[in-house]
Amino acid sequence: MPRVVDHARRRAEIAEALWRVVRRDGITATSVRGVAAEAGTSPSALRHYFTTQDELLGFALRTLIERVASRLAPELPGLEGRDGALRILGEVLPMDEERRAEVEVYLAFVARSTTDPALRAVRDDVDEATRAAVAYALQLLERAGELGAGRSAAAEADRTYPLVDGLAVHGTLWPERYPPAHLRRVLEHHLDELSTALSS
What residue ranges bind a copy of itself (CB under 8 A)? 24-29, 104, 107-108, 110-112, 114-116, 123-124, 127, 155, 158-159, 161-167, 169-170, 173-174, 177, 182, 185-186, 189-190, 193, 196-199
Among 27, 41, 129, 136, binds DNA (CB under 7 A): 41
Provide CB contacts within 8 A for 116, sequence distance 6+: 54, 57
* Number of neighbouring beta carbons within 10 Å of residue 11: 17
Amino acid at 149: A
Give the DSSP letter of residue 148: -
**What does 72 bind: DNA, a copy of itself, none (CB cut-off 5 to 8 Å by kind)?**
none
- Taking the CA of residue 15 as centre, how many other CA atoms within 13 Å lie in the half-sphere pointing to its CB? 22
For the CB of residue 65, give the shortest distance to a copy of itself in the complex, in Å. Answer: 15
Nearest approach in angstroms of CB 7 to DNA is 5
* Residue 20 in the binding site for DNA (CB under 7 A): no
Torsion of CA 102, 48, 25, 162, to 10 degrees: -30
CA dist., res. 186 & res. 192, Å (int): 10
84 binding partner (options a copy of itself, DNA, none; Cβ < 5 to 8 Å by kind): none
CA-to-CA distance for 125 and 65, rounded, in angstroms? 10
Q: Which span (40-48, 132-140, 175-183, 192-200) binds DNA, by CB under 7 A?
A: 40-48
CB of 22 to DNA, least distance (A): 12
Q: For residue 60, which amino acid is it?
A: A
Site of interaction with DNA (CB under 7 A) = 1-5, 7, 10, 29-34, 41-45, 47-49, 51-54
